[in-house]
């Protein structure tokens, strides 16, 4: 299939497919042949909308460049 055909099919599937609320449709190319792939979306989290439940922690500029655990890159042992 040509890219333009795959784009049209993807747009149609995004608008009309029964799974459009739980899946995304993406283009895939291999050896010049284009296809449309259906990819499951992660489940929606209600935690941010639930009173009393905190969402993910905000990222602050002073955290930039630190490895998980708060260790800056280049620290001894890393």
Top pLDDT among 50 and 33 is at 33
Q: How confident is the model at residue 70 (pLDDT cuts 50, 70, 90)?
A: low
SS3 70: coil
Task: Please write the tens of the pLDDT for every residue from 34-54.
Answer: 999 999 998 876 555 556 656
DSSP per residue, 26-59: EEEEETTEEEEEEEEPPPPP-GGGSTT---SPPP
| Whether residue 7 has pLDDT greater than 90 | yes
pLDDT of residue 6: 94
Q: What is the mean pLDDT of residues 43-72?
A: 59
């Amino acid at each position: 299939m040509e890219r333009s055909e795959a784009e049209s099919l993807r747009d149609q599937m995004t608008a009309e497919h029964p799974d459009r609320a739980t899946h995304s449709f993406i283009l895939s190319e291999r050896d010049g042949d284009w296809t449309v792939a259906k990819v499951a979306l992660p489940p929606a989290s209600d935690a941010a909308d639930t009173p009393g439940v905190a969402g993910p922690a905000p990222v602050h500029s002073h955290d930039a460049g630190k490895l998980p655990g708060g260790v800056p890159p280049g620290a001894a042992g890393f």
